[in-house]
């Protein structure tokens, strides 16, 4: 059994991720973090899912059982946990969230004492401890060695100050009308506050979480809804976050969703012009459109590609000393601003770029045309090894011979097969997508 996926431990709350599993996971993580402990404190935050109560209490139980003191800060964005873990000198940080997934899923993400996501090797060590029942039991504390927990409600201000300080001091959002979709998630308080304190007129939607409406027909997964509000209110721009606010989708003043690759391209050349782009390179994933790579090449900027997942984008950035990267899905990372993808911090950088360009969003964020790209997600009952599917290799070779780029992989967090095809001939791309979908439906 494998616990960790591409972004922590994630699954159906109360089923795969139940109270007992969570207690054991917390104990295993606590035992692992104690090896490098300096403060004996671990920070725990969450998004707005109802199941967060169960998982939070189970985490506290497991961590205190192995002697850790726990600081609970309630609903806060994932990037806030990364920032506050380091700021508050904790040994580790834990975020309870399934990000963009529906409310009945939940997840647990871990950060080290510097606010960085754990490497795959660290996750393997925690898994090894998790499955060693005898060792787990031997590490439980008694008497005065049992840990404690306390809830702190005033840390929101620290995060707000941190994000606001990333916005250029010579600019103001005064005069800008912004539609902000909080996805009924973790940023429902901090999001509007940050934008309003910087001077914007903010029209906030989906900021009334009830435990079950997170990501429900709202937020970064449904940005067209924001587009309607932008048009109705004559706003200058729309910003859609996901449930834990580490993802950003931008909507221009025409109500059109800005593709993630165009956003990365526009930001990258902006940073280069401002002499803020280290090593004159950026990182995107294998999912990103080839047109982005060609556009950056024309501007003498190198594009490095990583595996899918913001964790892998960050790893590639660190390995190559690059300070900017992202995923087309909306994880945009400015490593000199935030430890991980931060929807609000990224939104402020987008707004700064637009203000300095003195253009409307539709102009500033439309630097090139994308090549036709089609993405399909197929629900599967079993994740059979792709290299064992007879005929797939031959079909992929045929696709490649037609000048079409393909990427076929299983989701790391859901029982889905993700198929991406890209090429300059849209009709040909669609035809081969139909062939692939039919091929996999017969075999998975």
Count of C-beta atoms within a 10 Å radius of residue 379: 10
Region 316-322: mean pLDDT is 95
- 148: which 2 tokens? 């404690």
- 242: which 2 tokens? 């996901």
Region 299-303: mean pLDDT is 97
Total length of the chain: 444
Rounded to an integer, what is the distance from CA 342 to the centroid of its chain? 8
Largest CA distance in the chain: 70
51, 99, 149, 306: the catalytic one is: 99
Pair 259, 266: CB distance under 8 Å: no
| Catalytic site includes residue 99 | yes
- State the pLDDT at residue 411: 85
Count of C-beta atoms within a 10 Å radius of residue 217: 11
pLDDT in tens, 258-295: 999 999 999 999 999 999 999 999 999 999 999 999 99
- Radius of gyration (C-alpha) of the chain in whole angstroms: 22
pLDDT band with cut points at 50, 70 and 90 for residue 230: very high
pLDDT surpasses 90 at 413: no
Tokens 């990365």 identify what position?
A: 264
pLDDT surpasses 90 at 444: no
- 107: which 2 tokens? 């997840």
Region 141-151: mean pLDDT is 97
- 35: which 2 tokens? 């090896």
Region 8-25: mean pLDDT is 96
- 26: which 2 tokens? 């917390």
pLDDT surpasses 90 at 412: no
- State the pLDDT at residue 402: 94
Q: Point out which residues pair with 324 in neighbouring strands.
A: 334
- State the pLDDT at residue 414: 78
pLDDT in tens, 358-372: 999 999 999 999 999
Average pLDDT, the chain: 95
Three-state DSSP state, 96: strand
Region 94-115: mean pLDDT is 96
pLDDT band with cut points at 50, 70 and 90 for residue 134: very high
pLDDT in tens, 154-168: 899 999 999 999 999
Angle at 84 between CA 54 and CA 126, to 5 degrees: 55
- State the pLDDT at residue 252: 98
pLDDT surpasses 90 at 246: yes
pLDDT band with cut points at 50, 70 and 90 for residue 308: confident
DSSP 144: G
Region 16-26: mean pLDDT is 97
- 343: which 2 tokens? 């929807």
Output the CA–CA distances (angstroms, integers) from residue 418 to 243, 327, 385, 440, in the order listed.
Answer: 21, 15, 14, 11
Strands 105-111 and 69-75: what pairing? Answer: unpaired
């Amino acid at each position: 059994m494998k616990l960790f996926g591409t972004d922590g431990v994630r699954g159906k709350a109360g089923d795969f991720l139940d109270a007992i599993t969570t207690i054991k996971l917390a104990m295993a993580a606590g035992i692992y973090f104690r090896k490098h402990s300096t403060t004996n404190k671990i920070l725990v935050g969450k998004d707005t899912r109802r199941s967060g109560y169960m998982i939070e209490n189970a985490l506290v139980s497991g961590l205190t059982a192995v002697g850790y003191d726990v600081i609970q800060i309630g609903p806060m964005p994932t990037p806030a946990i990364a920032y506050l873990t380091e700021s508050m000198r904790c040994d580790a940080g834990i975020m309870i969230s399934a990000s963009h997934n529906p409310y009945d899923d939940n997840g647990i993400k871990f950060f080290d004492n510097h606010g960085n996501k754990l490497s795959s090797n660290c996750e393997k060590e925690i898994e090894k401890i998790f499955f060693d029942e005898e060792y787990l039991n031997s590490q439980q504390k008694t008497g005065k060695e049992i840990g404690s927990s306390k809830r702190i409600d005033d840390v929101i201000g620290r995060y707000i100050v941190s994000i606001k300080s990333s916005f250029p001091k010579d600019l103001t959002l005064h005069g800008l009308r912004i539609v902000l979709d909080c996805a009924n998630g973790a940023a429902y308080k901090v999001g509007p506050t940050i934008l309003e304190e910087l001077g914007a007129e903010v029209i906030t939607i989906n900021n009334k979480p009830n435990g079950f409406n997170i990501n429900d027909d709202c937020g970064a997964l449904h940005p067209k809804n924001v587009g309607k509000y932008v048009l109705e209110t004559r706003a200058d721009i729309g910003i859609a976050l996901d449930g834990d606010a580490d993802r950003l989708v931008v909507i221009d003043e025409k109500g059109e969703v800005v593709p993630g690759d165009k956003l990365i391209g526009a930001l990258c050349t902006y940073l280069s012009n401002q002499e803020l782009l280290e090593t004159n390179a950026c990182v995107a994933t294998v999912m990103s459109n080839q047109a982005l790579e060609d556009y950056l090449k024309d501007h003498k900027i190198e594009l490095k590609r990583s595996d899918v997942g913001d964790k892998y984008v960050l790893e590639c950035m660190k390995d190559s000393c690059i300070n900017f990267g992202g995923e087309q899905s909306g994880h945009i990372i400015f490593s000199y601003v935030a430890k991980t993808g931060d929807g609000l911090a990224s939104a402020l950088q987008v707004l700064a770029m637009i203000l300095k360009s003195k253009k409307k969003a539709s102009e500033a964020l439309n630097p090139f045309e994308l090549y036709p790209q089609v993405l399909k997600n197929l629900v599967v009952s079993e994740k059979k090894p792709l290299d064992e599917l007879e005929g797939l290799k031959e079909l992929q070779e045929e696709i490649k011979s037609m000048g079409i780029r393909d990427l076929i992989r299983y989701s790391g967090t859901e029982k889905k097969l993700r198929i991406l095809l890209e090429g300059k001939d849209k009709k040909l791309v669609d035809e081969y997508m139909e062939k692939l979908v039919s091929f996999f439906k017969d075999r998975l």
